[in-house]
Amino acid sequence: MDRITSTVFDMGALRKAEQGYRRRLEQEPGDTATRLGLAWCLVVQALFEAGQEETLGQLLAAASPGGPTASERIQATLTAAEAAAERDSRTLLRSSLQQALLVSQLSTDPQEKSDSEWLRALIRLSGGEQTLVEAEEEAVTTMRAVTGAVLRPPDAPGPGGLGPLRPRLRRYCRRANGKSG
């Protein structure tokens, strides 16, 4: 097997696992074990993508002395790949964090909560602190909205209960699961 084209991880298998997790969450959005599995799958993919981005960046920098055509070709390849896949490391990492934060908020299983914290600790250790902060801020905003809707008495002015919030919750869950809308 060629050392240059072979990898330790099968990214196709990870993408297939991701699709399976997402299908399961479409059927059972409250399945925190599946959500945690998706978070781990996404963080491994994010690390792989970050490695590719770093390598391409180094190639781009190294190609500059050889002339602008080599540099332009590498940049065009990188831009096309990112546009086609929309699976850059930051997007994958943010999605992973959204899943982990949902697990930490929704799960009653101590092991799942612990696994979620381990995942966030790995991301902090890997230098993803800013993305973690952004994901946590979004989670706080969403949880405030949910808590407000749940705690509002049915006879209070304005929407009460979860009824009016359901479309927003669905949109948030779809976004966290990588779907648009």
The dihedrals phi and psi of 4, each to the nearest 5 degrees, come to: -75, -40
Structural domain of 92: 11-101+109-176
Q: Which two tokens stand for residue 167?
A: 């479309």
In a domain, 4, yes or no: no
2 domain-assigned:
no
What integer pLDDT is reported at residue 1 of this predicted model? Answer: 43
175 or 4: which leads in pLDDT: 175
Q: Is residue 27 part of a domain?
A: yes
Output the pLDDT for position 136. Answer: 86
Q: Is 53 part of any domain?
A: yes
pLDDT score of 2: 47
Most confident of 52-66, 79-93, 125-139: 125-139
Determine, yes or no, domain membership for 6: no
1 is a domain residue: no
Span of 19-23, 24-28, 134-138, 176-180 with lowest mean pLDDT: 176-180
Is 170 within a domain? Answer: yes
Q: Which residues of 41-70 are buried (b: 16+ CB within 10 A; e: fewer)?
A: bbbbbbbbbbeebeebeeebeebeeeeeee
Count how many domains the chain has.
Answer: 1
CA distance 35 to 28: 10
pLDDT for res 49: 83
Whether the model pTM is above 0.75:
no
Q: Is residue 52 part of a domain?
A: yes
State pLDDT tens for residues 127-174: 778 888 888 888 888 777 767 766 666 555 555 445 555 555 566 666
Check whether 91 has a pLDDT greater than 50.
Answer: yes
